Chains A and B, each alone.
Chain A
């Protein structure tokens, strides 16, 4: 019963069945549509997330242009409300989460010494649901108006029926249905990560020998699997209220708008950690490599990450301090929120301890990682200030909060993402990104970022509320808003520099070996870019940072001593022969077909058109049944 092969494996499709030949191509542009290789899927996630990042960023620029001066007239209120809603929705669901999933997809199997993920086709399904879900929500711009109830979609603003409600257009329907879809995608990828990490570690890769990044992915996978269902339930309720006149959130008929807030934030706060923990993982990988020192207190960093994930469930109501939940509840949630600061602080100190006394190489990834520590510290500290419930009543829903979470999510997550991209780029594409342009990218981002978001602390304290399409003059906000707009464009410039870097570095590509950074974890022990089968031989792991310990040892004073390199380099021919014996699962159409059914169903739900819904169900079911008839690998050609 213990081995896997006794699990369901359906027989190959009978010869008469296939109308469509099984895809077998693993190269060329068409292969991207059928790939179930975790590395390619990872790259798809990353590229798609970066595209959505640019879209969400452009929305932010429009917002900043509108707020350049008091009583701005660039945007109408209706347009502004759509833009800030979509900016938040995009950055959280279409950048933050998929970027973590993308990096995790690429790296987790490599870091734990596996050849693939546990469920390659479910993995593929997750990506296509994410892409279609994102496009589905964005299609609303062309269909009468984008979501306009905020990324948090508070009821009853979002839950009253379109026809006699408060928000024009089907935007909120697109939002609710689209997020349910994206939620299904994230649950599948979370599930995949959990099973992969728990089940597929190389021999000797005990849980405590796993890289911190893998740990953080495991924690966010657990958070995703448990947090998504509550928001899915809340969104179904919103959808039902809007379209079938149920009264979940309609106070007149006994419903309760605060129920939504509870359900939403029970998801929403873990969601915040889903966004930031991968960033912490990335930084925990970069700092030791570029300091040539092990991660200070690696276990403590892991356990504090787990503690943050765990405590993250007990603080949701700190988003609701001013909703009138009463002094007892605010006391409890305030203290719980303060408690989260402890493991967070511990992480920051450990990172600092890692750099301290090392041999610091200020390459671009390291700059971003150091920038992360500095910016995240500011965001973390302003977050702690929010747990002072009475003064939070002054700051919540003002620009102070906007500053706070951008320091965490931009200064934290986005800096970590860029650091991670610079760091793992050679592993993914076989060549470095230019370090010179990278530094320009970093400094412009750091300056632009602080210019944009630091003044928001001040305007927030000066009383400027969030989510306002305009503001009056004479409150002392004007100059800060101007600075913020200038900063936003510097950030945009910085992102542009990154894009330029990608193309310039590609044009001047200089192939790199497997381990260009002299790094510590298993993904660097294989060639760059990683071959399809990952590891010729599944490695045996003996320690945390195993790869490093194969290269270095310590003398009596603890100084680093390079070991003579072990000359087990096989010839190219031998590798080919060995690799040809590795069976990889074959590509497939069906997860894509299944995923394609989802947005069709989505349109059916939004427009309450049961024919469209039926078509969507049919497409999905067709894909699913074809999928179940398909073996994991194509039949051998004889």
Chain B
């Protein structure tokens, strides 16, 4: 690792560097690395890291060389009595040519490996699982389009993939530009309105065992407005059999009873105008199955169908539990990642923050139902809704 603070090898500086190294080590050891490019768990990410590391080492050698050269020259050629009038050298053609050609050669080698890898990664892998990702403000929708052609799972924020299987993502957005990224598995790719972008990843085999998926974190990496920092995602890499179990569980729509209970609880708040719930409008479900309705575009909010099967909500930012959930339902704009439950008077706090004054119709983000102009939501109602939502669990894999 290059240490730019070394300019003169004084002991104090060395101590500082030693301290820094310890800190680096400390930072590394306590971390989960679930969102690190330095701990790849898939081929794409590993190839990226390998090519990076190789040329990083070359760059570091050059960098350290130049810096040491600067320090050496500054010290060695310091003006002393007797050397005030040095030999005047105006240039040296051989040197010029050699320090033009040498970097050019290194760069050519770099270009060869780079180009090879670019084309390798651009190709759509054979027999890949296909997932369509929709970037929303500020969460992700996922639709599994070819696992089972007649039954597509549509979910939000949390992605489940089987280990060792190539996945081919199609990325789309109907709002602003986002960028989808799971650092440990592959490089990012922008999600651009009006364009369909693709990328592939393949999680290593033997990452998970039955009942024990491996969890990775990621987040949106293209600035997308107010709550960009809270637009995160979680990925569970599972064994094939776990994945199949999960997939089957996610195909189940809500029962009639569940739908009617929910509708009764939320009647004045029309949750389903923004949130897709499988089973709530059978007509829509049929359209989704046929592919004529895209819930990623048609609904402004994340899917609630299997919310209880997830570990997080709110752009995969908050842990899914009763306390977090009811407060979120009650007054989403007031929450940030930092002080859940502690109300902050700023309506633009962060996640869920509607950028429009909360009294006007919600354009982006969850409105504050506590301050609903028609019927302010009571704490009790919020808790009832939360309790109900948590009761809709189908998946028992984890």
Binding site for B on A (CB under 8 A): 70-73, 76-78, 81, 149-150, 154, 156-157, 160, 164, 166-168, 251-252, 255-258, 291-294, 296-300, 322-324, 326-327, 330-331, 334-335, 338-339, 341-342, 345-346, 348-350, 352-353, 355-362, 366, 370-371, 373-375, 377-378, 381-382, 384-385, 387-398, 411, 446-447, 450-451, 454, 458, 461-472, 474-480, 483, 554, 557-562
Contact = CB atoms under 8 A, between A and B. Distances in A.
Given A81-B226, A156-B176, A447 B86 contact: no
Contact of B23 (A70, A300, A373, A479): A479
Nearest to B189: A322
Contact of A475 (B31, B100, B193): B31
Interface stretch (B146-154, B273-281, B346-354): B346-354
Given A359-B79, A447-B5, A469 B114 contact: no
B96 A397 contact: no
Contacts of A370: 7, 70, 74
* Interface residue range, chain B: 35 or more
Given A77-B229, A338-B111, A342-B103, A390 B70 contact: no
A557 B85 CA distance: 11
Contacts of B26: 479
Contact of B103 (A149, A341, A483): A341
Interface in B1-24: 2-5, 7, 20, 23-24
B252 interface: no
5 contacts: A154-B177, A357-B86, A360-B74, A361-B79, A458-B27
B52 A391 contact: yes
Interface of B: 2-5, 7, 20, 23-24, 26-28, 30-38, 44-45, 47-49, 51-52, 55-56, 59-60, 62-63, 66-67, 69-70, 73-74, 77-80, 83-92, 95-96, 99-100, 103-104, 107, 110-111, 113-115, 117-119, 121-122, 137, 171, 174-177, 179, 181, 183, 186-190, 192-195, 197-198, 217-230, 232, 317, 336-339, 344, 346, 348-351, 353, 355-356, 363-364
A330 B350 contact: no
B195 A258 contact: yes
Given A156-B177, A166-B175, A77 B226 contact: yes
A393 B48 contact: yes
A461 B36 contact: yes
Contacts of A361: 78-79
Contacts of A471: 229
A252 B174 contact: yes
A462 B85 contact: no
Which 7 residue pairs across A and B have the least CB separation, nearest first? A476-B31, A393-B187, A251-B194, A71-B338, A468-B229, A324-B197, A560-B85
B232 to A, nearest CB: 8
B77 A78 contact: no
A157 B223 contact: yes
A375 B2 CA distance: 11
A296 B55 contact: no
A446 B110 CA distance: 31
Given A255-B194, A394-B48, A349 B99 contact: yes
B95 A390 contact: no
B103 A472 contact: no
Contacts of B194: 251-252, 255-258
B4 A327 contact: no
Given A76-B348, A360-B78, A476-B28, A462 B37 contact: yes
